[in-house]
Amino acid sequence: MTHHQPIAALCALGLFVSPVYAATADDAAALRAELASLKADYAARVDALAARIAQLETAAANPQPLPEPPESPPPPPRDAQSSDTAFNPAIAMILGGSYTDTSRDPGDWHIAGFFPGGDEIGPGERSFNLGESELTLSANVDPFFSATLTASITGENEIEVEEAFFRTLALPAGFTAKGGRFFSGFGYLNEVHSHAWDFVDQPLIYQAFFGGQMAQDGLQVKWLAPTDLFLEFGGETGNGDAFPGTRRNRNGLSATTLFAHVGGDIGDSTSWRAGASWLDQRAEDRAYENVNDIGDPVVNAFTGKAQTWVVDAVLKWAPNGNVTRRQLKIQGEYMQRREDGALAYDVNGLDLGGGYRSTQSGWYLQTVYKFLPRWRIGARYDALDSGSSRIALVDDGTLPTDAFPLLRAANPDRLTLMLDWNPSEFTRLRAQYAWDDARADGARDRQFRLQYLFGIGAHAAHKY
């Protein structure tokens, strides 16, 4: 019995170890299977990445055109647009007024030696005055044209059309055209609206030669050269119904204007512009009131041609071109006019006629300095020369020299100083003082004027 006990123990131990060994073998097999699965998945991922890299390299070497985007839907028809926004012009209003104090009666103001005509406003009436207010409507009509209307509302409750014109937007090669009523492009100041003047009034030369601003009813064409230097050439033609011309009862063209402008920069702080203009106008029975040698009122009339030359120049300086703090502006123009034709005396009575010829000239020079962001000071000097008129009725002894007192030779001049405050781009308050020697008697008129200007609504940029 004792001899068989070890064998029984070994059998019992074998029965116990066999299940344990079997379990260990199963676990190892499972781990090997999982490892094989991970290796297969990793290999698949590597192969996929390699294939993607090869695809990208092939696409970069052989780019394919992108597919065209789908067509956008057509715009809605015009009838579908709101009537409230289909036409929406920019609207601007300028309110102006003044106070005037003069040492002489402004009712007898006249520039000695020159035909009176046009508005020839002078210093205006004394005390408080409601000045000229401007209402402007402008808009692009379509891709080819824009349109502008500027109406002047006077203190006498009258409404006048200052400008009403169309302008082209799509002419090629630097050309633009304008048609309707517009301020003529001759000289420098004529195109500038009154609220943008540097002084309350125009220089004497504009008042003597054109009776104020000259508007043309006709057509204007400009060409801007494609150069770094500013080069502009233009011409106008119209009905001639602007002083010193008159509208004649005939077809065709009655007034011609040609002009050229050149300009550029000098460094970063200075710019300039210069120009020359020529005007050819015709007058037919251009009447004016006068008195004869014994003081009786008469009406005389001129018929003939008037040709005017204008040269102008403007220089502007501002530190590095920044005009918000300081700016200096120097501006001047010289004009010469020749008239040749016939002068009728007392057309409602004696109705005498004879030849007339004159050469008259004038100029002004002004400077305006912005010494603080909102303050400017300026000075202007005007001088005219009426020349020596050749009046046949006087030269042949038919009438005495005193029969034409307004046309006696004279040299009117004026000195003007101004100070204005501009709290914003929409407001200007100005004080101006002038020593005016424009009258024939040579007695000086001291003129003190206060002016206010207020802008309402959208307003286009002013001329250079």
Sequence-distant (6+) residues with CB within 8 A of 184 are 190, 191, 214, 215, 216, 220, 236, 242, 257, 279
The pLDDT tens digits of the residues spanning 152-164 come to 998 888 899 999 9
pLDDT at 331 over 90: yes
Cβ count within 10 A of residue 386 = 23
Tokens of 195: 């609220």
Query: What digits encode the pLDDT tens for the residues 184-213?
Result: 999 999 999 999 999 999 999 999 999 889
Is the per-residue pLDDT at 271 higher than 60? yes
**Phi (first) and psi of residue 319, to 5 degrees:** -55, 115
Is residue 282 over pLDDT 80? yes
Give the CATH number of the domain where residue 249 resides.
Answer: 2.40.160.10
Q: Give the residue-averaged pLDDT of 98-108.
A: 92
Query: Average pLDDT, stretch 20-37?
Result: 62
**Which of 51-65, 223-237, 373-387 has the weakest average pLDDT?**
51-65
Residue 55 vs residue 371, higher pLDDT: 371
* Integer Cα distance of 178 and 219 in angstroms: 6
Mean pLDDT of 307-336: 96
Asked whether residue 168 is assigned to any structural domain, the reply reads: yes
The arithmetic mean of pLDDT across residues 414-427, rounded, is 96
Determine contact, residues 458/91, Cβ cutoff 8 Å. Answer: yes
Bridge partner list, 383: 363, 413
Give me the domain span that covers residue 162: 88-457
Let me know: does 177 contact 168? Beta carbons within 8 Å.
Answer: yes
pLDDT at residue 198 in the model: 96
Considering its fold, how many domains does the chain have in total?
1
- Flag whether 339 is in a domain: yes
Q: Name which residue leads in pLDDT, 219 or 124.
A: 219
Instruction: Note whether residue 43 is domain-resident.
Output: no
Asked if residue 42 belongs to a domain, the reply is no
In a domain, 36, yes or no: no
Q: DSSP string spanning 263-314?
A: EEEETTTEEEEEEEEEEEEEEEEEEEEEE-TTS-EEEEEEEEEEEEEEEEEE
- Residue 30 belongs to some domain of the structure: no
Q: Which residue has the higher pLDDT, 268 or 17?
A: 268
Residue 21: pLDDT above 50? no
pLDDT at 279 over 50: yes
In a domain, 21, yes or no: no
Range picked from 62-76, 237-251, 345-359 for highest mean pLDDT: 345-359
For residue 320, give every residue at least 6 positions away whose Cβ sits within 8 Å of its Cβ, in sequence order, or none.
268, 269
Question: Could you tell me if residue 31 is inside a domain?
Answer: no
| pLDDT tens digits, 167-185 | 999 999 999 999 999 999 9
| One-letter amino acid of 208 | A
Residue 457 confidence (pLDDT) above 90: no
Chain-centroid distance of CA 139 in Å reads 14
Task: State pTM to two decimals.
Answer: 0.79
